[in-house]
A = this chain, B = another copy of it.
Amino acid sequence: MAVRLIDVARRAGVSPSTVSYVLSGNRPISAETRRRVEESIAELGFRPHAGARSIRRQATNVVAMVLPMFADGQGGVQMQFVLSALRAARARGFNLLLLTAEDGVAEINNLVSSAMVDGVIVMEIQVDDPRLPVLGELQRPVVLIGTPDDREGLVHVDFDFAAAGAMCVRHLLDLGHRHIGLLGQPADTFARQAGYALRAREGVLGVLREHELREVWAPAQPNPAGVAEAIEELFGQDPDLSALVVYNEQALPFVLERLKQLGMRVPGDMSVLAICPDDQAEHLVPPVSDVALPSRELGRLAFERLAGLIGGEEQPVSTLLAPQLKRRGSTGPPRRGR
């Protein structure tokens, strides 16, 4: 069977409590005793039984992360959240356990009530997410990736999508564009009221409205047909379109391809500005200017906040990462006469 603490103690000729204290550091131990115990631990290959430990400790050093319902692992920003949170957790000695949103709040509650996890990260937050009340009553720390409408409640981290959308439009306005369209997330993302999709759209359309320009936008499926359809829709709304804000990282390559097909040069005939992770824009042809979506940073930050809460530290309720524009040459002034 597995090596137990008492085996270590016997071999080192000390009591179990001494071994425990060597492990936890909660009591001064003589150098000699410590040496013997550590040697014994090493030789026997002893690892404390996590379950037994979690009975007396108040913690498991495991956190849960709830994946969105529709996660498909395809170029998803969500997967970046998971991977970066995972790295951050591992670096701090935590383990990360995955749940899917299909599991629902009941399952989260289960994990928490059965003392399997010390805290939970939830992503894909809807503007008025029905899960929030329950999450608020969970007796364990929770961090959201995404901003709920009620910003006073749970600790959350997010990218400032509204500011990002606005920044895109302002950049294009500065270049002289007056006919700007948004090619956004797929329709079902809007349908489920995903905060990022709604806020980015409002960021874009809000600035257009301020400037009394036409509010042109369309959702797009991330495949050639979906993109072609969306672009047609946008031109239907405004035939003079000279600039596109693309907030749909998976569709972006197809947008460039479609524009080329239509005989439009970028940025000569059409400026393109994306909201997406930097590495998904920089290797395209032409390299696409973007407002970088800091997906890795967000996952890491979410875990850091959670770890803080678990450690009993106060954490800022709301953290919105500010957008930054990265120019790469896919935007320029509109053609004359536009």
Contacts and interface: CB of A to CB of B under 8 A. Distances in A.
Interface in A111-132: 111, 113-116
A223 B83 CA distance: 22
A74 interface: yes
A127 B15 CA distance: 47
A157 interface: no
Interface stretch (A90-98, A160-168, A330-338): A90-98
Contact of A51 (B50, B86, B97, B111): B50
Q: How many copies does the complex hold?
A: 2
Interface string A71-84: 11111101110110
A51 B253 CA distance: 48
A240 interface: no
A262 interface: no
A103 interface: yes
A62 B283 CA distance: 40
Given A74-B75, A253-B254, A285-B224, A86 B115 contact: no
Interface centre among A79, A80, A102, A284 (most CB of B within 10 A): A79
Interface in A1-57: 2-3, 45, 47-55
Interface in A273-301: 280, 283-285
Interface in A292-321: none
Contacts of A75: 73-75
Interface string A216-248: 000000011110000000000000000000000
A266 interface: no
A170 interface: no
B100 A90 contact: yes
B98 A96 contact: yes
A116 B100 contact: no
Contacts of A52: 51, 55
27 contacts: A47-B113, A47-B114, A49-B55, A50-B54, A51-B52, A51-B54, A51-B115, A52-B55, A62-B116, A72-B83, A73-B82, A74-B79, A74-B280, A79-B79, A82-B98, A90-B99, A90-B103, A95-B97, A95-B98, A98-B98, A223-B284, A224-B253, A224-B283, A225-B283, A225-B285, A226-B283, A253-B254
Given A82-B98, A253-B257, 9 more contacts: A51-B53, A51-B60, A62-B97, A67-B83, A86-B98, A86-B100, A90-B107, A95-B111, A225-B283
Interface of A: 2-3, 45, 47-55, 60, 62, 67, 71-76, 78-80, 82-83, 86-87, 90, 95-100, 102-103, 107, 110-111, 113-116, 139, 223-226, 253-254, 257, 280, 283-285
